[in-house]
Amino acid sequence: MDFLYQIQKKSPLIHMISNYVTATDTANALLAIGASPVMSDDPLEVEEVTSIADALVLNMGTFSPAHAEAMFLAGKKAKSMGKSVILDPVGVGISRLRREAVKRILEEIGPDIVKGNFSEMAFLAGEESRSRGVDVSEEDARKDGLSIALKVYQKWGCVAAVTGKTDIVVFQNKAVEIYNGHPALKKMTGTGCITGGIIGAFLCIEDAFSAAVHGLMLVGLCGEKGYEKAGYLGSGSFHRAFMDALSDWTAEELEKRGKISEIRL
């Protein structure tokens, strides 16, 4: 697993139309793994920026009509130039603006990868998110995640990545589950946004399915290593240790600690 070396060697430029809450952490995470971030979100310049970038990441965390226009323009430009697009439909179900924008992005742009939590991906699959009680087994939750990922892939033809206690990635006849991670990640805002950016960097060196799998695995591993080093001290210490961990891996470590399991479809 020498993908971090490959990213450092290529130093891809990742155009992120991100959100204001997590833009700094996402940019720093990309720098930590060897990529270069550009965070332009003005409709007047996004096409020019996308034209020189290696990949485009669309994150809907803080959304507005201007963001929607910027995403459409950048997405169209990216696809016209054969560049990869990742969509992170944050909070897609909470407003009409987001629902309509995501529908248009999926229909008119066709992202290569869509990554979201169970509720977001369930919405894209055409299902209402089902709240799961404590009596539901992990196996049932896993089956739900796999079912949703399959439906998103079948409906939209993209790599579908459903995040949760374990992450599931589906594309064509391939499906895997990633077991890396730590509960402390839930207490740090922006880990999903960071994951989207990192997947964008991985897309510049490998296919979309592999990029989603390895991006999710890396963030999960950084959660584990960050907690081992300092997470027990508190949220602030965990945040710093997580960011440090992004640039603290060898190919041998990644191979040894990565927990990826194929799912038979």
Domain range annotation of the chain: 3-262
Pairing assessment for the beta strands 84-88 and 113-117 based on DSSP bridges:
parallel
Output the pLDDT for position 138. Answer: 54
Mean pLDDT of successive 10-residue stretches along the chain, which has 265 residues: 90 96 96 97 97 97 93 98 97 92 96 95 81 44 84 97 95 97 93 96 97 98 94 88 93 93 92
Output the pLDDT for position 128. Answer: 64
Q: What is the C-alpha to C-alpha distance for residues 186 and 59, in angstroms, rounded to an integer?
A: 18
Q: What pTM value is reported for the model?
A: 0.93
Both tokens of 142, joined, read 């896993």
CA nearest neighbour of 25 among 234, 196, 211, 257: 196
Output the pLDDT for position 7. Answer: 96
Q: What are phi and psi of 231, to 5 degrees?
A: -60, -30
Output the pLDDT for position 97. Answer: 93
Continuous segment of H or E residues that includes residue 218: helix 208-229
**Yes or no: domain 3-262 corresponds to CATH 3.40.1190.20:** yes
Q: How many C-beta neighbours within 10 Å does residue 142 have?
A: 16
Output the pLDDT for position 131. Answer: 43
Helical axes 208-229 vs 235-245, angle rounded to 10°: 130
Which class for 99: exposed (0-12), middle (13-18), buried (19 or more C-beta within 10 A)?
middle
Pairing assessment for the beta strands 167-171 and 174-178 based on DSSP bridges:
antiparallel
The residues near 153 (Cβ < 8 Å, ≥ 6 apart) are: 159, 160, 170, 171, 172
